[in-house]
Every structure is written in structure tokens, then in C-alpha cells.
Structure 1
Amino acid sequence: MAECPLLDQCKFYEKYQNIDDKTLLEGFVNRFCNGNFEQCVVKKITEDHNMDYVPDNMLPDGMPEPGTDDSEWSEDIIDYM
């Protein structure tokens, strides 16, 4: 299966690599990073803008990480959902 070409700069993937318990996020990595990365919202935003534009708490499906919210996201980011 192909890997996303943006893995080396992806905020989500970097965070995933640096946590001890990968269980919660492993499904996202399998689904988006190592699979259907064309549907990844992080990738879409990065292609249209750059990785700095992606919120730090955004998951590949465009939702905020558990325990966080999108209250500080710009309207531009919310429009990607």
C-alpha cells in the first residue's frame, strides 16, 4: 500500500510517531497515511496552503482530536469539512 507523500512534514503523523500508546490513532494512520490519503483533510489543506495552516489538533478526517474542539479554527479550515 502506498504511503502519503506528505508524511515527512505532516503534523498529525509526527504527533502519532511521538506518542507511547498509538492504539487510538492507529486506525487513522492505516486509513489515511498508509492508504486512502487522497481523502485526508490535512493533505488537502497542505496542498492548498501549507502544513503551517493545518490546526495542531486536526485529525486526518478533519475532526479535532478527542478532548479538543475546533473553536480556534478559522472559517477557512472549517470549510474543508
Structure 2
Amino acid sequence: MRENCQFYQAAQGMGEETVARAFLDIYCKGPEENNCVIRDLADELGWGAVPDNMMPNGNPIPGTGGEEEWSDEVKGAIGL
């Protein structure tokens, strides 16, 4: 599934000291792997529904405009 995850693909190429890389180490390869909101959302709605600016904890990537542009379906699935 990681090959379908835009966050995973982007974070892989970032330096070790970035916030995105820390999320990758915690949610994609570490202790919170079973709590990844992106994976859960993809399981429920499909990879095409996952917003490009979603982090594994379900929050938008800072500086990307937030979740205002996310569909109501996505917001409902993650409890917004």
C-alpha cells in the first residue's frame, strides 16, 4: 500500500530532520503504523479520495490551505 500513498512517497525523499520524515518514521514504519488515517481512509474510500495534503494523523500538511478543500465524504470519514 505504501506505493499508493502520496505522503509516503514524498516523505521518503525528504531529509532526516524534517517533520514529514518524523511522521513517516512514526506512522509508516513505527509504533503508530496501525493508526494511520491515510491508510484507513484509503481502505474505506479508495486511494483516489485521499487528499494530497493529508498527513498520517489526519491533519493537513501545514501551509497547504487546510482541510477546507477536502470533500464532505473525506471529512465525514475522518470525523471532521
Compute the TM-score of the two structures, normalised by the length of structure 2.
0.81
Residue 27 (structure 1) aligned to one of 18, 22, 29? 22
Please identify which structure carries the higher helix content: 2
1:67 is paired with a residue whose SS is: coil
Partners in 1 of 2:17 and 2:7 — Cα distance?
12
Partners in 2 of 1:76 and 1:61 — Cα distance?
17
* Cα deviation digits, residues 33-77 of structure 1 (max 9, x gap): 002222111000111121111000000000000102111101221
Gaps of 5+ in 1: 1-5
- Number of residue pairs matched? 76
1:13 to 2:12 alignment: no
Percent identity over the alignment?
32
Supply the RMSD in Å over aligned alpha carbons: 1.7
Greater relative contact order (Cα 8 A, min sep 6): structure 1 or 2?
1
